[in-house]
Amino acid sequence: MPATARETNLLGCHDCGLVSRNVDGHDHLICPRCNADLHMRKPNSIHRTWALVIAACIFYLPANLLPITHTTSLGHVQSDTIMSGVLYFISHGDWPLALVIFTASVAVPLLKLVVLIFLLISVQRKSAWRNRDRTVLYRFTEAVGRWSMVDVFVVTILVALVKLGALANIDAGLGAVYFALVVIITIFAAESFDPRLIWDPEEEDHDARH
Amino acid sequence: MTQDTDTGAEALPQAVVAAKSRFSIVWLVPIVAALIGAWLVYKAVTETGPTITIDFATGAGLVAGKTKIKYKDVEIGHVTAVEILGDLSGVRATAEMAPGAKDYLTEETRFWVVRARLAAGEVSGLGTLLSGAYLAMQPSTEGKKQRAFVGLEKAPVITPDTKGTRYVLNAEKLGSIDIGAPVYFRQIRVGRVVDFNMEPSGKIRAEVFVRSPHDARVKTTTRFWNAGGFDVSLNAEGLQIDSESLVTMLVGGIAFDTPAALENAAHADTGHEFHLYDNLRASESPVYELKRFYEVIFEESIRGLSIGAPIDMLGFELGRVAFIEPFGDVESGVFAVRVVIEVQPERYPALMSPTDKDAETSLKKAVAAGLRAKLSSGNLITGQKMISFDFFPNAPAAEMDFSGEYPTIPALPGSFAEVAESIARIAQQLEQVPLQQIGEDLGRTASGLADLVNSPDLEKSLRDLSATLAEFSEVATNLNANVSPALTGVIEEAERTLGSVRTMVDTNSAARNETKRLLIELTETAQAIRMIVDYLERHPEALIRGKGD
């Protein structure tokens, strides 16, 4: 059985890679070579992630309920939420485009939140259930999260490009702001989660068996 | 550390390990998020206004999610759904209103569809061409609150919050007035025609709205007239064309003014009724509101008399013919024409008292004095007849008959009238003949003649005449004997003279040639004079300046 860093009471520096011995009873340690913060696990990882996930969940509602664009064309204003945009493309037969928007803007943020909540609960319950799969889930969450920003960029570009006065005009709605907040907060939430926590229960089992 | 309690330090209190604060600053993020979320929910709840339904006959221009509801051009709601009513009688629009509209949704609140409109000389709602129709709302705080409405099919012309006064105009015909047509006061637009409809009696009743402060100009004596089109009149001053404005020429309109003499009348209240005159001139003529109907029976042909023909007395119009119908049959042996006339007593108050009480007594008195109706020629060229009233003191006695539908004024047959007239004429001329003088003159002549015949001078004269004639006969005989030879000499002399004259006027004689030349010269001179006159006519200034080149 290979030893983990924690088992050997050693700390690895994230910045310079130097391995140093842990000093028990002290929280705040720094790397003797590069002065970077050293820690066995990300501090307060679970609390921080929970906080961000809850914030993201709250923002997810207005992001989907409020209009993200106000389209003015020939004196007539139309407000679109994310879902109404998806439905608009579906009704016009643009299935691929509708799928892209739905995936990037509705499915992915929701999936991320669900995955993070699942990981947090499983870690808090010290579950040892399919650690490897849960780690894959976490990596996927971290990798795919930033792509949700596509929608925000599309809105930004449209607002900047379509400025034809009364003929056609697009303004960003409040929904876009909340949507951007959801995406950014979930990125931070994924960042603050320490995947090593997934494996800790296995170690403790291991210790207990000794 | 704490296990070792045997030393003297056991009396010392034990340091407490402070529980590390579990609160991380990161929890601020969800708290802020929760606050924002709560605020959004609060806003959504408070800003959601009431949902109402409005029923229309058709859904023209109504689009779910797009059609706005506006008041004074400010959006206060929008249509969220349009659906057909269950009984297919119309459509029902469901609309979400702004929360502030809650207090203005009562049973008095009105909704109507605003579309682009080109009417009454103005274009309105042009914006709806691009943005589509919208619903206009007329809010009201009066009455019970309600959520289900029935929309108006046509937009009200004047919104109730416009200050002004409504008046009623009674007219015989509508003319070129339409709802929304302008109302002018001295060619300034001060109001509009709000509505018109037909009374059961067939009269037109139009409602106009005059904006404040111009409604203060409307007095009880004010006259309204139809200002539509233009008015062409030809009178002693020449051709006159009047029009209120270009707009009224095209779409019609109403104008009003108060005659200067009647300016001091009371201000007209809402709903005051006025008569709508056909044109300005008609409004300027005196108004005779009072009308009375009478009958005249003619037992002769009324050819040329038509409805509307004037009733005339002394060349002064009293009214018009209202109705003509024949009556009678073989059994009664009477064939006549009943003519109903409409008379305005105010035109001749002395003859027909305008007050109802004395209405018939004064006329009865006039009939007793010889007032009769008769047919007379109105227009010699077209043969139009009219009814004229006149006094015929010698006419057969007659009385007014009150048994019919209307009181009957006795008529004088046209033939009798003519006879009576010609007799009167002859009598008049006869009166002018100086019969007495003629008689006197005749008498004198006759007596002179008698004197002459009986006088002794006459006998003597006759005897002288006979002697004279004998002498004359003698003279004639002498003349025959003495004068004849002398006369022969005279004739010969004359023949000679004529012969010499002939030689003078012969073709080649000098005198003739001279005369001919003289005539030619005279002709040339005349030509020259004519040229000068012509030239002078064209250039009169040549008299002063001389002949120019």
- Is A48 close to B132, i.e. CB distance below 8 A? no
Q: What share of chain A is helix, strand, coil (3-state, %, to 5)?
A: 60, 10, 30
A136 in B contact zone (CB under 8 Å): no
Supply the pLDDT for residue B234.
67
| Pairwise CB contact (< 8 Å): B22 & A47 | yes
Domain total in chain A: 2
Give me the amino acid identity at B222: T
Secondary structure of A20-85 in HEC code, one letter for each residue: EECCCCCCCEECCCCCCEECCCCCCHHHHHHHHHHHHHHHHHHHHHCCCEEEEECCEEEEECHHHH
Residues A117, A50, single domain; the answer is: yes
Q: Tens digits of per-residue pLDDT, B199-213?
A: 888 888 888 889 888
pLDDT at B2: 46
Chain B contact for A81 (CB, 8 A cutoff): no
Of B24, B37, B131, the CB nearest to A76: B131
DSSP B406: S
Identify how many contiguous H helices and E strands chain A contains and give both numbers.
8, 7
Asked if A175 and A191 sit in the same domain, the reply is yes
Residue from B263, B161, B277, B281 nearest B219 by CA: B263
- CATH number for the domain spanning A81: value is 1.20.140
Q: How far is B168 from chain A (nearest CA, A)?
A: 41
Q: CA nearest B35 in A: which residue?
A: A58
Point out the residues of chain B with pLDDT beneath 50. Answer: 1-2, 4-5
Is A62–B127 a contact, with Cβ atoms under 8 angstroms apart? no
Same domain, A58 and A142: yes
Instruction: Indicate if A54 and A148 belong to the same structural domain.
Output: yes
Helix (H, G, I), strand (E, B) or coil at B206: strand
pLDDT at B359: 67
Does residue A167 share a domain with residue A99? yes
The structure tokens 């077209």 sit at: B382
DSSP symbols for B441-457? HHHHHHHHHHHHHH-HH
Q: What gap in Å lies between CA B403 and CA B397, rounded to an integer?
A: 18
Mean pLDDT of A173-195: 90
Q: Quickly list DSSP for B316-369.
A: EEEEEEEEEEEE--TTTT--EEEEEEEE-GGGSTTTS-SSSTTHHHHHHHHHHT
pLDDT at residue A180 in the model: 92
Q: Does A165 touch chain B (CB under 8 A)?
A: no
Residues of chain B found within 8 Å of residue A54, distances taken between Cβ atoms: 30, 33-34
Among A118-127, A156-165, B412-421, B463-472, name the one with the lowest average pLDDT: B412-421
Mean of per-residue pLDDT scores for chain A: 84
Which two three-digit tokens encode residue B401? 């008959």
Contact A58 B37 (CB under 8 A): yes
Q: Out of A47, A59, A75, name the one closest to residue B131 (CB).
A: A75
Is there a contact between B30 and A61 if contact means CB atoms under 8 Å apart?
A: no
Look at residue A114 in the predicted model and tell me its pLDDT.
93
Instruction: Kindly give the pairing relationship between strand B51-56 and strand B91-97.
Output: antiparallel
CB contact under 8 A, B130 and A56: no
Asked if A51 reaches chain B (Cβ–Cβ under 8 Å), the answer is: yes
Q: Given a cut of 60, is residue A160 above it in pLDDT?
A: yes
A119 and A186: one domain?
yes
- Give this prediction's pTM: 0.47
Q: Looking at the structure, tell me whether residues A27 and A52 fall in a common domain.
A: no
* B58 vs B138: CA distance, rounded Å: 20
Measured CA angle at B93 (ends B89, B98), to 5 deg: 155
A197 & A143 share domain: yes
- Chain A residues whose CB is inside 8 A of the B132 CB are 76
C-beta atoms of A51 and B29 within 8 A: yes
Query: Does any CB of chain B come closer than 8 Å to the CB of residue A42?
Result: no
Query: What ipTM, to 2 d.p.?
Result: 0.76
Q: Which two tokens stand for residue B328?
A: 């009678």
- Separation in Å, CA of A27 to nearest CA in chain B: 11
Instruction: Identify the three-state secondary structure at position B225.
Output: strand
Higher pLDDT, A209 or B54: B54
Answer yes or no: is pLDDT of A129 > 90.
no
Q: Which residue of B has its CA nearest to A192?
A: B26
CB B372 within 8 A of CB B411: yes
A64/B contact by beta carbon, under 8 A: no
For residues A70 and A161, state if they share a domain: yes
Query: A127 is in which domain, residue-wise?
Result: 41-209
* A169 and A110 housed in the same domain: yes
Neighboring chain A residues of B127 at a CB cutoff of 8 Å: 75
What is the structure's pLDDT at B1? Answer: 45
Map out the domains of chain B as residue ranges.
Answer: 47-150, 164-284, 292-412, 493-549
Which helix (H) or strand (E) segment is B486 a member of? helix B456-504
Both tokens of residue B219? 């007095």
CA–CA separation, A184 and A145 (whole Å): 9
Do A103 and A56 reside in the same domain of the chain?
yes
Judgement on whether residues A19 and A120 belong to the same structural domain of the protein: no
Structure tokens at A175: 């929904």
At A152, is the secondary structure helix, strand, or coil? helix
Token pair of A130 as six digits: 């399919």
